A = this chain, B = another copy of it.
Amino acid sequence: MTKQVQQLDRVIIRFAGDSGDGMQLTGDRFTAETAEFGNDLSTLPNFPAEIRAPAGTLPGVSSFQLHFADHDILTPGDAPNVLVAMNPAALKANLSDLPRGADIIANSDEFTKRNLAKVGYAESPLEDESLSEWRVHSVPLTSLTVKALEEFEISKKDAERAKNMFALGLLSWLYHRPVEATIKFIESKFAKKPDIAKSNVAAFNAGWNYGETTEAFSVSYEIKPAKLAPGVYRNISGNQALAYGLIAASVQSGLPLFLGSYPITPASDILHELSKHKRFGIRTFQAEDEIAGVGAALGAAFGGALGVTTTSGPGVALKAETVGLAVTTELPLIVVDVQRAGPSTGMPTKTEQTDLLMALYGRNGESPVPVVAPSTPSDCFDIAVEAARIALKYRTPVMLLSDGYLANGSEPWKLPEIEDLPDISVEFTTEPNGEDGTYLPFKRDTETLARPWAVPGTPGLEHRIGGIEKADGTGNISYDPNNHDLMVRLRQAKIDGIDVPDLEVDDPSGSARVLVLGWGSTYGPIAAAIRRVRRSGSEVAQAHLRHLNPFPKNIGEVLKSYDKVLLPEINLGQLALLLRARFLVDIISYNRVRGLPFKAEELAGVIQDVIDSE
């Protein structure tokens, strides 16, 4: 039977199943195949808060969404074209996101009375009329897998567990994905258990063959590779890119990296990743708590290391006092906050942009710090290098605000040329800078206002620093009122004077009247929304902030050159507050705090409304 092949320009697939069903792995593999094939892509994993919630329940559903296309894309997509539902819970939990007419591939074996009851289905939706508006493909994935593996000497349980590979095979067929790498991957993953390896490969192939031979699927789809800029690409998640960026910063600065960290979702993976790279001289220290994590990083910085601490919101709160110490001792330090939904414990596995004001103001006293934020998963690499540049050049802690969406989402990343990476090397002070051969630890560079950095082990420059106010120059304890006022202003001026690139505005015609401004992980959804709006004939400008403190110098001008500025944020208007205060501009905020990224369609509507209301 020759099957029909249809050309598509983009597809959004969501794999959904029980936490134990291996959906993240399945998604990862499909992503790898897709990356290899050359589509542009963007992913959105979504795991339950529990490690393994009870099987078959709604809270136990784990999903992975992948958007891929023959052109460059910006988000993991608003609404899936295809839902793979491994059980009734997966169907129920995801159905509301599924536009009418989308495909549903359901594992009919799992639609048992018991499983249906667990999620409150009286009858199987595969059998009544309730799914009539979707294209349902009922496939007995489990039994087909078990049957395909009859010949192997493995337990029934192991055979059943391979059903995700069957599904992956089927989907790989459906979308013409290259399969060799997946087969290799399975073989190496289970290298120590050859039976399991073989049976998983067999299940994968069986899935592929099932698509090819049965009549259940009459059409398969081709999505051409995307015409991306030439270069070498790899797929990368935000957390991994951030870890790589920190390693790059260590290499480019010539300073050993010291990470002091305490595990916390969704930041832990940066610790995990960095702990693998000891060959780079990287020391990772799992501390007893967040305070010790940042304290150790600061201690290492005092000793001349590139000190880094990684955490999420509640951890940032705990680190505040120590960050204040870094501010006043003017030591370089990178504080990474992978934001998650708050307040308090909040929803640890969900994303949010609600820590901006805490990053800026969450310390006692006038305690200014620079703040940067990446806009896409791969930008996490660049922003880490930028954070290090600022920290080292200006001797200051820097707050880096990533978030759960960037951290776990992935996209193809065009690898930078090493020689294009900035040189951020540091010269330690080794000679006295005061009169009579004295060392003045707070005698500043006249241009950057940075203080010198003499590390222990340097003869003749022995000195003491601390959290009490210091006399300008000497750094001795000082309670002099005028000195304090001076130091408060110098610390502020140093941060205000950081060299930050100008804000770039994307305004193709130059005649848009509405500017959409964003920061952090909203870049993708905003840009996708802008495309839609432009496609529908309206003019609109876009600008995205990566430097939240200080702002780019031209930002005031930019804001004032548009009639309206729309600022979507996944918070209640934190950046808006800062811009309003600074520039007295009546920013229009759009805020949704749902723990999820914006949808492009939603934003397109909002943008259009703002344009139309002119």
Contacts and interface: CB of A to CB of B under 8 A. Distances in A.
Given A49-B479, A481-B595, A344 B325 contact: yes
A281 to B, nearest CB: 30
A317 B584 contact: no
Contact of A344 (B324, B345, B481): B324
B571 A345 contact: no
A448 B443 CA distance: 54
A-B complex: 4 closest residue pairs judged by Cβ atoms: A342-B365, A313-B364, A343-B365, A345-B467
Nearest to A350: B479
20 contacts: A314-B321, A314-B364, A317-B364, A320-B362, A321-B344, A324-B343, A325-B345, A327-B343, A329-B344, A342-B363, A342-B367, A344-B468, A345-B466, A345-B467, A346-B469, A352-B365, A361-B361, A485-B593, A576-B581, A577-B581
A355 interface: yes
Contact of A324 (B342, B468, B484, B572): B342
A512 interface: no
A251 interface: no
Contact of A358 (B343, B363, B469): B363
B347 A479 contact: yes
Contacts of A360: 357, 361
Interface of A: 49, 59, 312-314, 316-318, 320-321, 324-325, 327-329, 339, 341-347, 349-350, 352, 354-355, 357-358, 360-367, 466-469, 479, 481-482, 484-485, 488-489, 491-492, 571-572, 576-578, 580-582, 584-586, 592-596
A484 B594 CA distance: 6
Contact of A343 (B59, B328, B580, B585): B328
Contacts of A593: 366, 484-485, 488-489
A395 B472 CA distance: 46
A241 to B, nearest CB: 23
A355 B364 contact: yes
Nearest to A344: B467
A289 to B, nearest CB: 10
A96 to B, nearest CB: 11
A347 B467 contact: no
Nearest to A337: B364
B316 A344 contact: no
Contacts of A586: 584
Nearest to A571: B366
Contacts of A344: 321, 324-325, 327-329, 364-365, 367, 467-468
Contact of A492 (B485, B572, B585): B572
Given A317-B324, A318-B321, A479 B365 contact: no
A292 to B, nearest CB: 13
B313 A365 contact: yes
A62 B586 CA distance: 50
A468 B341 CA distance: 10
A201 to B, nearest CB: 36
Nearest to A291: B318
Contacts of A584: 580, 584-586
Nearest to A325: B344
B317 A363 contact: yes
Given A342-B363, A343-B365, A358-B364, 5 more contacts: A354-B366, A481-B594, A482-B594, A484-B594, A584-B586
A388 B498 CA distance: 43
A355 B320 CA distance: 13
Nearest to A478: B347
Contacts of A362: 317, 320, 358, 361-363
A328 B345 CA distance: 9
Contacts of A469: 341, 346-347
A349 B468 CA distance: 11
Nearest to A468: B345
A364 B342 contact: yes
B320 A318 contact: yes
Interface centre among A316, A321, A467 (most CB of B within 10 A): A321
Contacts of A366: 342-343, 354, 571-572, 593
A360 B272 CA distance: 34
B354 A595 contact: no
Interface centre among A313, A344, A345, A366 (most CB of B within 10 A): A344
Contacts of A317: 320-321, 324, 362-364
A593 B482 CA distance: 8
Contact of A485 (B479, B578, B592): B592
A379 B225 CA distance: 71
A482 to B, nearest CB: 6
Contacts of A355: 364-365
Contacts of A320: 317-318, 320, 358, 362
Contacts of A582: 580
A135 B46 CA distance: 79
A387 to B, nearest CB: 19
